[in-house]
């Protein structure tokens, strides 16, 4: 675990081991296969796996697949791929709640025989009415008036066993009956007011097919699946704190292994949403290109954007484990990413919005080889050769006909260094029929190879370039935040988070040029386009026709904020 600092979960675990409550540590990561994982799940399984590692224990990967309407094998494969990419291995401990259906059914029968569960005929609407709702008094104090017992609550054990068996046999239509725990209809915790354990749903399950027409509810299944696997510490996000009394009730009534539930604050991050349900809507309604759209906080989206597992783990480690919800600035995630990419990304040159630069006093057809550093942070990456010639591409922003004050790039009469090359001085420019600048003319000083001026003249600007004769054509995709506000879920009346989508979170540039070495990049390559930012190849690229995604720019806003606070 990257961060060995103290946190309340490890303190609880130490207490449990010291008291003899448990002799070992066994955790689990229990995703529901109804969508792809996002960075919030990274925090969850980072905690699950690293706590097991810290205490010499084990961590299971279990799919809580008891909701056949929304689950699919493709989600299972995506989840496994993402967890492995993040660097975690569950070895042979891969489990499915659907494998426990018979076991769960038998435990339900056990609870019925104890008189602690009953078959109910109330509809969902009637059940909600009987359960009651929380209200606020005139002092804004939340009250939970007692609910009412279902008229079917006092059925005999024998009748409940018979009806539950007939529910399994498929004798009743969907929604006609449920199995409910008999707890306390006056409990201030509404979840304890006779929660549903089983419902009838004739839905094809991606693993069990049509074998079952009744499916266990999450609050019943989850603690008993934990118990079956011998999970000592069931670590989950803070919204399940109110579920803990129910978790403990089912374990106690089923008389199974006493797993302990501990809650931690989930990850909330600015400029994004953290819910598979909200992300699914973005995918289904085509606001994004898919689950792996680089604007999404999904692990696959982050991977396609160019994030590294090391950067994400560093981020999750440093934000720590808390008991109180908070909002993390996405700039800190970007800071962790820059710190990692700065060490591993190869430096190359590319021009996104090209403008031709012609060196008039360079002999036509002549080329020179220049030497460029691949990564100044890692000498092992060595150097590469760059062809330098008469016609180059530079960025349009690196020339202005009439510059503002403190503009140190090219303009008539000014000199700049060409990265790794020569000092050039602008002598003029061409315009097309529309009045747009189509080319810049310069002369070069042969004595300044490598950018050094022998007469120590002051040249403040250095710009990048690519050789027009050797450059490879590229498509480049520039991504920005998907949501404009820091808190997308905070909306005006009558609006929802979709209304907070940024109007232009993607810009596609089809006329970019790069060094020849970018023609066929390795799929996992990480590049720094000098002066522009970090980029990675996208799977949409073809041999000789690369597509690059901008991962992040070079400017580090978080470091500046952190410096001010210090």
* Contact (CB, 8 A) for 249 and 183: yes
Six-digit token pair at 361?
């006093």
DSSP letter (8 states) at residue 209: B
* 32 belongs to the catalytic site: yes
Integer angstrom CA distances of residue 61 from 119, 179, 299: 33, 28, 17
Q: How far is CA 384 from its chain centroid?
A: 35
Task: List the Cα angle 363/366/372 in 5-degree steps.
Answer: 120
| 87: nearest Cα among 50, 38, 58 | 50
Exposure string of 521-536, with b = 16+ CB inside 10 Å and e = fewer, is beeebbbbbbebbbbb
Region class of 22: left (phi > 0), else alpha (psi between -120 and 50), else beta: beta
* 276 belongs to the catalytic site: yes
Six-digit token pair at 5?
């600092």
Six-digit token pair at 418?
């060409």
* Contact (CB, 8 A) for 78 and 41: no
Q: Which residues contact 503 (CB under 8 A, 6 or more apart)?
A: 484
Identified catalytic residue from 260, 266, 409, 550: 266
Cα–Cα distance measured from residue 104 to residue 127, given in angstroms and rounded to the nearest whole number: 23
Q: How many CB atoms lie within 10 A of CB 421?
A: 23
Cα–Cα distance measured from residue 359 to residue 466, given in angstroms and rounded to the nearest whole number: 13
Identified catalytic residue from 32, 53, 241, 381: 32
* Contact (CB, 8 A) for 265 and 40: no
Q: How many CB atoms lie within 10 A of CB 134?
A: 10
Q: Which residues contact 501 (CB under 8 A, 6 or more apart)?
A: 287, 482, 483, 484
Integer angstrom CA distances of residue 333 from 313, 315, 490: 10, 6, 22
With the C-alpha atoms ordered 198, 202, 208, 211, is the resulting torsion angle positive or negative?
positive
Beta pairing class for 327-328 and 506-514: unpaired
Max CA separation in the chain (angstroms): 102
Q: Which residues contact 99 (CB under 8 A, 6 or more apart)?
A: none
Task: List the Cα angle 476/477/480 in 5-degree steps.
Answer: 145
The DSSP result for 301-348, as a single string, is: HHHHHT--HHHHHHHHHHH---SS--EE-HHHHHHHHHHHHHHHPEEE
Identified catalytic residue from 131, 276, 390, 409: 276
Cα–Cα distance measured from residue 478 to residue 502, given in angstroms and rounded to the nearest whole number: 14
Six-digit token pair at 107?
């435990």
Residue linked to tokens 């725990």: 181
Backbone angles phi, psi at 246, to 5 degrees: -75, -40
Write out the catalytic residue numbers. Answer: 32, 266, 276
């Amino acid at each position: 675990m990257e961060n060995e600092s103290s946190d309340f979960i490890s303190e609880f675990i130490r207490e449990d081991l010291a008291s003899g409550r448990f002799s070992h540590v066994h955790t689990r990561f229990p995703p529901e296969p109804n969508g792809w994982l996002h960075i919030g799940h990274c925090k969850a399984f980072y905690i699950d796996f690293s706590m097991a590692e810290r205490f010499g224990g084990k961590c299971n990967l279990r799919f809580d697949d008891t909701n056949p309407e929304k689950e699919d094998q493709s989600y299972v494969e995506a989840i496994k791929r993402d967890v492995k990419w993040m660097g975690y291995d569950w070895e042979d401990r891969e489990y499915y709640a659907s494998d426990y259906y018979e076991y769960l059914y038998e435990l339900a029968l056990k609870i019925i025989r104890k008189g602690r569960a009953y078959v109910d005929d109330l509809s969902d609407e009637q059940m909600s009415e009987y359960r009651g709702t929380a209200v606020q008094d005139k002092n804004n104090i939340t009250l939970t008036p007692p609910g009412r017992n279902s008229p079917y609550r006092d059925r005999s054990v024998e009748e409940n066993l018979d009806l539950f068996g007939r529910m399994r046999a498929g004798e009743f239509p969907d929604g006609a009956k449920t199995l409910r725990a008999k707890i306390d209809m006056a409990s201030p915790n509404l979840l304890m007011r006779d929660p549903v354990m089983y419902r009838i749903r004739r839905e094809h399950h991606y693993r069990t097919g049509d074998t079952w027409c009744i499916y266990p509810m999450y609050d019943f299944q989850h603690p008993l699946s934990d118990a079956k696997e011998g999970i000592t510490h069931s670590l989950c996000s803070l919204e399940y704190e109110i579920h803990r009394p129910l978790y403990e009730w089912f374990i106690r009534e089923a008389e199974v292994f006493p797993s302990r539930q501990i809650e931690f604050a989930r990850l909330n991050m600015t400029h994004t949403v953290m819910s598979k349900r909200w992300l699914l809507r973005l995918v289904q309604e085509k606001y994004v290109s898919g689950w792996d759209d680089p604007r999404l906080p999904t692990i696959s989206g982050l991977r396609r954007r160019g994030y590294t597992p090391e950067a994400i783990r560093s981020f999750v480690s440093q934000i720590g484990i808390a008991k109180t919800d908070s909002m993390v600035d996405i700039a800190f995630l970007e800071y962790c990413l820059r710190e990692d990419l700065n060490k591993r990304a190869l430096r190359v040159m590319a021009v996104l919005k090209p403008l031709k630069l012609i060196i008039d006093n360079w002999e036509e057809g002549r080329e020179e080889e220049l030497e460029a550093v691949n990564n100044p942070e890692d000498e092992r990456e060595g150097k590469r050769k760059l062809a330098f010639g008469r016609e180059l591409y530079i960025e349009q922003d690196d020339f202005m006909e009439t510059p503002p004050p403190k503009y140190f790039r090219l303009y008539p009469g000014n000199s700049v260094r060409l990265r790794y090359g020569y000092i050039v001085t602008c002598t003029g420019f061409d315009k097309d029929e529309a009045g747009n600048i189509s080319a810049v003319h310069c002369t070069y000083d042969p004595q300044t190879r490598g950018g050094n001026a022998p007469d120590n003249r002051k040249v403040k600007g250095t710009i990048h370039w690519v050789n027009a004769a050797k450059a490879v054509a590229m498509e480049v995709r520039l991504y920005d935040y998907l949501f404009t506000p820091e808190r997308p879920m905070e909306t005006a009346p009558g609006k929802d988070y979709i209304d907070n989508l940024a109007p232009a979170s993607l810009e596609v540039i089809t006329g970019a040029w790069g060094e020849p070495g970018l023609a066929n990049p390795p799929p996992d390559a990480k590049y720094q386009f000098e002066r522009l930012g970090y980029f990675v190849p996208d799977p949409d690229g073809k041999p000789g026709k690369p597509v690059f995604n901008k991962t992040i720019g070079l400017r580090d806003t978080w470091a500046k904020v952190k410096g001010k606070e210090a």
